[in-house]
A and B are shown apart, each in its own frame.
Chain A
């Protein structure tokens, strides 16, 4: 491994440990927000793509990633990239699995399938009892990225991570 790879890997190792403040069991890398780590004229540049325009967690995430970066690369730079826009397609399979374990129904299928928006979308199965008899209560949940559902079988409310 050459020294560039070593420096880049070292940064990856640290920023992989930065967790999403609103989904603390998931790392920001699991969420697909870290778009790359590269060396540019002897400076390590980390690219971060925010999820929603107004997500209040973005500033906290940027600060946490920056401090992880600076722990090994004091001159490293964090770059925010809006384009291409973040999509739920970038969420890792591991993260989807963990969401379901924590009672959040993960986004279903590719974001291009927006039938969900019109209320005629695929059914979102209950993450607790797996029933497909569920109803959307509101497209807007406790955070910008989640919708609020209720399960008609076990009668428990649950959250669904929206496809965008």
Chain B
């Protein structure tokens, strides 16, 4: 694995957390109930904190003096390498929860590996902290899958639709490209086929309890990790980056 590839791995971890955190923060002040408004903002904050850790590591490895802020605010959409799922718009609450559930189940497996087994000690330190938070996130989104799936006729119908809509974006988690292959070989990232198995087991278990039908399609959207994004990312970045790009030296 080259240093360049190592940098990309850290950036990808940061980008997933950053973009999903930004998306969730859009719920702040708009949650369906006060408790959920607070929960989504809490999770967004956790993700933002995790992104800071991963970006800081990427900046150090890169050695060009870029810090967490420069990596978050001064890169363009083509330079972001998050999975397409996390940039999906919030939609209704069911859409947001399905997106969160599919991601949390993946993130939990990946973060556990990073915390316990990766060869990069600095990434391991960020992940060891993150894994405790991701467990809470997964528990939260799983409980909502149960409540919505096994709830009223309407909530069941809506959340099943959300699941069917978002399912094709989850497959990208397990598509290995050259960077992944090199990182897996070097012991930096977990084997994605192993992660896929654990993910399917976790997801199937909750969906069955939630009386939801697990989609069978294995076709998946892809491209996020290579910087080929949906049209939604540009708008998200425009809002996220406008202040630091307009006033690059602004400070609190």
Contacts and interface: CB of A to CB of B under 8 A. Distances in A.
Interface of A: 50, 52-56, 82-87, 111, 114, 117-119, 137-142, 144, 148, 162, 164
Given A52-B46, A118-B139, A140 B39 contact: yes
A148 B38 CA distance: 10
6 closest A-B pairs by CB: A53-B49, A54-B49, A54-B45, A83-B125, A140-B39, A138-B35
A56 B45 contact: yes
Contacts of B53: 53, 82
B34 to A, nearest CB: 9
Contact of A54 (B48, B135, B136, B139): B48
Contacts of B143: 119
Contacts of B124: 83
22 contacts: A52-B45, A52-B129, A53-B49, A53-B126, A53-B130, A82-B129, A83-B124, A85-B125, A85-B132, A117-B135, A119-B139, A119-B143, A138-B36, A138-B38, A139-B39, A139-B136, A139-B140, A140-B43, A142-B38, A144-B42, A148-B35, A162-B136
Contact of A164 (B47, B125, B132, B139): B132
Given A82-B128, A139-B39, A140-B43, 4 more contacts: A54-B44, A83-B128, A111-B132, A148-B35
A118 to B, nearest CB: 7
Given A82-B126, A85-B129, A164-B132, A144 B38 contact: no
B225 interface: no
A84 B45 contact: no
Interface in B23-63: 35-36, 38-39, 42-50, 52-53
Interface of A, secondary structure class, is loop
Interface size bracket, B side = 20 to 34
A19 B39 CA distance: 26
Contacts, number: 80
B67 to A, nearest CB: 14
A84 B49 CA distance: 17
A157 to B, nearest CB: 11
A67 B6 CA distance: 36
B133 interface: yes
Contacts of A53: 46, 48-50, 52-53, 126, 129-130, 133
A134 B21 CA distance: 31
A70 to B, nearest CB: 20
A119 B209 CA distance: 15
A75 B195 CA distance: 47
Contacts of A137: 35
Contact of B49 (A55, A117, A119): A55
A54 B39 contact: no
A10 B1 CA distance: 48
Nearest to B43: A140
Given A53-B130, A118-B139, A140 B38 contact: yes
Contacts of A114: 135
A17 B111 CA distance: 36
Contacts of B46: 52-54, 144
B140 to A, nearest CB: 6
A64 to B, nearest CB: 16
A140 B42 contact: yes
